[in-house]
Amino acid sequence: MIRFIEVMMIAATIVVAIALFAVKYDTGKLAGEIAGLNRQIAKEREAIGILRAEWSLLNQPDRIQKLASKHLNLAPVSAAQIKTLSDVPDMPPGEALADLVERSLSSLSKADQANNNLPQ
């Protein structure tokens, strides 16, 4: 009887040792994954910092002003361009609206239509 109990205790010790080894192995594997994720998070944070710096550089008012004056040829608004709400015509009925849109789109150059440079 004593030998049976001893054999059972040794078997239980072996099972617990195997289970402990498996848990230790899984823990090490998860720790490696966590370390990899932490490295990836650090890289992403660095990339975000670089993108914020780029965004800040690209959104400088002086830079935007230079680009606008170079490419847009804008002029100050004249008093004649300011209208009241009563100057805006009413929306035409359905067929007239469709005809107006069709005429507007047909006035676009063929290159604009081919490149999908449609007005927004």
pLDDT digits (tens, 9 = 90+) for 4-58: 899 999 999 999 999 999 999 999 999 999 999 999 999 999 999 999 999 999 9
Rounded (5°) CA angle 117-103-92: 115
Give the C-alpha separation, 9 to 72, whole Å. 87
Using CA atoms in the order 7, 8, 13, 18, what is the torsion angle rounded to 10 degrees?
Answer: 100
pTM listed for this prediction: 0.48
Reported as a pLDDT band with limits 50, 70 and 90, residue 116 is low
CB atoms within 10 A of CB 75: 7
